[in-house]
Amino acid sequence: MPHVYETDGAEIYRQSFRMIREEAELGRFSRAEERVAVRMIHAAGMVGLSPHIRFSPGFALTAVAALQKGAPILCDARMVSEGITRARLPAANPVLCTLHDATVPERARYMANTRSAAALELWRPHLAGAVVAIGNAPTALFHLLNMLEDPACPRPAAIIGCPVGFVGAAESKDALWKAQPVPCCIVEGRLGGSAITVAAVNALASAAE
């Protein structure tokens, strides 16, 4: 017999978000934060993610306002940049990933750092007022924090810092949360990744579910 399953995409979303709101601990989030958290949980398929999501004061409203003003979105990995739904962007916002720029390998050798970190040097002309989305590389988040220690470095509007992994991921997010150079969002510990980061951007970009 053929499998019977829900085939209406919109209904799948409605049921998914209803189940998340019924099962996840969302009471500590503001309305704007809850929308972001629900999409992050949906991307992870894990209602237990909610206790690990942290928003600094004003993060969600600041990031939404920046996107509505046309802020660029700076991504550490192509998996992040490709996952952002362009139709949700409120102002045809530029989405930029510099990881595969031809100059990055030589920059990385000169810096004695990863390509992910070296690629951020190409962000400098675009960084002021941007929304940063780091979902893969802890070294990128660490390097961004080092860049922002320089008062002359342009300041982004907000940072989504959700790199995933076993080496440096938890530590880089702890460093961001401690420093909070601008409003930020993290997922504590080793959890994170491109899908969760993309979900946060898409939720900030549009209130539509």
pLDDT tens by residue, 7-48: 888 899 899 999 999 999 999 999 999 999 999 999 999 999
- CATH number of the structural domain spanning residue 36: 3.40.50.10230
Instruction: Label residue 207 by pLDDT band (50, 70, 90).
Output: confident
- pTM exceeds 0.85 for this model: yes
pLDDT at 137: 96
Contacts of residue 100, Cβ cutoff 8 Å, sequence gap at least 6? 78
pLDDT at 209: 76
pLDDT at 203: 97
1 vs 55, higher pLDDT: 55
pLDDT tens by residue, 90-143: 999 999 999 999 999 999 999 999 999 999 999 999 999 999 999 999 999 999
In a domain, 191, yes or no: yes
pLDDT at 9: 85
pLDDT at 8: 84
Q: Contact, 77 vs 133, CB < 8 A? A: no
In a domain, 145, yes or no: yes
Contacts of residue 57, Cβ cutoff 8 Å, sequence gap at least 6? 183
The total number of structural domains in the chain stands at: 1
In a domain, 172, yes or no: yes
| Residue numbers of the domain that contains 133 | 9-205
pLDDT at 190: 94
pLDDT at 100: 96
In a domain, 111, yes or no: yes
Asked whether the CA dihedral 175, 178, 184, 189 is positive or negative, the reply is: positive
In a domain, 21, yes or no: yes
Query: What rounded mean pLDDT belongs to the chain?
Result: 96
In a domain, 91, yes or no: yes
Instruction: Label residue 208 by pLDDT band (50, 70, 90).
Output: confident
| Percentage of the chain lying above the pLDDT 90 cut | 93
In a domain, 180, yes or no: yes
42 is annotated as an active-site residue: yes
In a domain, 4, yes or no: no
Which of 3, 42, 52, 126 is an active site residue?
42
Average pLDDT over residues 77-88: 96
Average pLDDT over residues 139-159: 97
